[in-house]
Amino acid sequence: MLQHFDLFIPGAAKSTETLTVYAPYDRRPIATVATADQDTVNLALNNAHSLFEDRSRWLTKERRLEILKKTAELMAENFEFLALEAAKEGGKPLQDSRVEVTRAIDGLQICIDVLRTASGSEIPMHLNSASAFKLAFTHYEPIGVVAAVSAFNHPVNLIVHQVAPAIAAGCPVIVKPAEDTPLSCFHFVRLLYQAGLPEEHCQCLMTRDTDTTGHLVTSPLVGFVSFIGSAKVGWMLRSKLAEGTRCALEHGGAAPVIVAEDADIDTMIPKLTKGGFYHAGQVCVSVQRVFVHQSIAGIFSDAFTEAVNALRVGDPELDSTDVGPLIRPGEVDRIESWVNEVSSFGTLIKAGGKRLSPTTFQPTLLYDPPGHCKVSQQEIFGPVVCIYPYDDIDEAIRRANALPFAFQASIFTKNIDRAMKAFNQLKASAVMINEHTAFRVDWMPFSGLKQSGLGIGGIPGTFRDMQIEKMMVMHSDALKT
């Protein structure tokens, strides 16, 4: 019998509308999830807004710390279950899903540390006649109701990055997971409840369409929107937000890597293989465009080809699998058509290039595909990496910066001047030196520029975004006890 998840909304009637969740590898049904209509979304919004307006129901910092700590303990106790569920519903190989759950637990600890040390500041006074006899200080308060819309590719860790900072900040949060991977979100919210979080503080719902999701995030009752997903949907939703609603958007990219002539190929290849084909390339900062100096392009591409050909594609629930399925069969169709496009122009396919099944595609290396083709112009979001030879570093930087995406970039070199040139001139929010573009630890800033997003992610940045700094100024001589 399939698992079934009702809406996590206090007072909501049982929904008769459901969607079925499928394992992306073999497309077997694994669960059903109730879906919310606009009336149910309104109930969730009113629950959250009423809670926020009643300061007597706010959780103390001590209580929030206790809940986050207990949730981390519960996640550790359910570690293997959570990893297997994530692998099953999202298609990320089990070995990588375990890493994701570990990161999620670490993320809760980061939230705890950030919350424990959070404080306001004293504003200097007595500096002129206007500020004489004045005392001023700030503290932080929750910004209001948070609406969190998440993506499929990290079904545990993304939810933690969106929900845990809201709880730490004291914000009621309504979370809408990705349609393809809602189970991990429901499991996490259930653990929050077990840890003692009152249900109104974190409600979880699923919608079937963009209109209902839009009804949630554009409500004037929402103070902050956290969106992870496509640029098309993200910018559309931002354009419709209520006046005063703040937001953070995390979209995609087409991450560039520059390989200089002095790069250490032996140490670089394993990093680029992981960065390009982790989760079948379905990562917003996945290695996509590798610009290699002409003098080593042949040696580099041969070594990269050997590493890519060694990757094992298969069932994500097996420990032996390196690369799992794409999230939907339609994505395999899209990747196949993009590879066929460059093949028709005579592009050399160094590795892969074919679908293995309705849900899997071979890890693929393309050598110097035409600049006008889709793989060179758009985010691939699949197991395909493109290699482009270049003659000088200025050309490589110019080509790396040419697309309307800017997230993370990297350069491999032993030369500090070349590394600094790339750091200063690459259009990116982060530049990795001798590391792949998908490198991340959960306390560092994480943000897209241009079409790739808006705002500063990472747990500390998200925590700050979900609060307002409120100032008090008092005339000390006028106060009486």
Per residue in 81-137, pLDDT tens? 999 999 999 999 999 999 999 999 999 999 999 999 999 999 999 999 999 989 999
Spatial contact of 189 and 218, defined as CB atoms under 8 Å apart: no
State the number of CA atoms in the 13 A half-sphere of 292 facing the CB.
27
Least confident of 15-19, 116-120, 342-346: 15-19
Assess whether pLDDT exceeds 90 at residue 16. Answer: no
CA 186, 189, 194, 198 torsion-angle sign: negative
Residue appearing with tokens 């001023």: 136
284 is catalytic: yes
Assess whether pLDDT exceeds 70 at residue 25. Answer: yes
Q: Which two tokens stand for residue 451?
A: 């079409």
* DSSP symbols for 351-390: E--SBSSSS-B--EEEES--TTSHHHHS---SSEEEEEEE
Assess whether pLDDT exceeds 90 at residue 13. Answer: no
CA distance linking residue 401 with residue 255, whole number of Å = 10
Assess whether pLDDT exceeds 70 at residue 144. Answer: yes
Q: Which of 111, 284, 373, 386 is catalytic?
A: 284
**Which CATH number is 255-433's, of 3.40.50.2000, 3.30.1360.30, 3.40.50.720, 3.40.309.10?**
3.40.309.10
Per residue in 171-196, pLDDT tens? 999 999 999 999 999 999 999 999 99
Q: Which of 250, 317, 331, 379 is catalytic?
A: 250
* DSSP symbols for 139-179: EEEE-SEEEEE--SSSTTHHHHHHHHHHHHHT--EEEE--T
Least confident of 224-228, 321-325, 455-459: 455-459
Q: Please list, in sequence order, all residues whose beta carbon lies within 8 angstroms of the beta carbon of residue 176, skipping any fewer than 6 positions away.
A: 147, 148, 149, 150, 204, 205, 206, 207, 213, 216
pTM of the model: 0.95
Query: Would you state the pLDDT for residue 159?
Result: 98
Assess whether pLDDT exceeds 90 at residue 478. Answer: no
Domain boundaries along the sequence of the chain: 3-251+452-471, 255-433
Spatial contact of 453 and 447, defined as CB atoms under 8 Å apart: yes
Q: Could you tell me the CATH superfamily of domain 3-251+452-471?
A: Aldehyde Dehydrogenase; Chain A, domain 1 (3.40.605.10)
Q: What percent of the chain has pLDDT over 70?
A: 99
State the number of CA atoms in the 13 A half-sphere of 276 facing the CB.
27
Spatial contact of 140 and 468, defined as CB atoms under 8 Å apart: yes
Q: How many residues does the chain have?
A: 481
Q: Identical fold at 3-251+452-471 and 255-433?
A: no
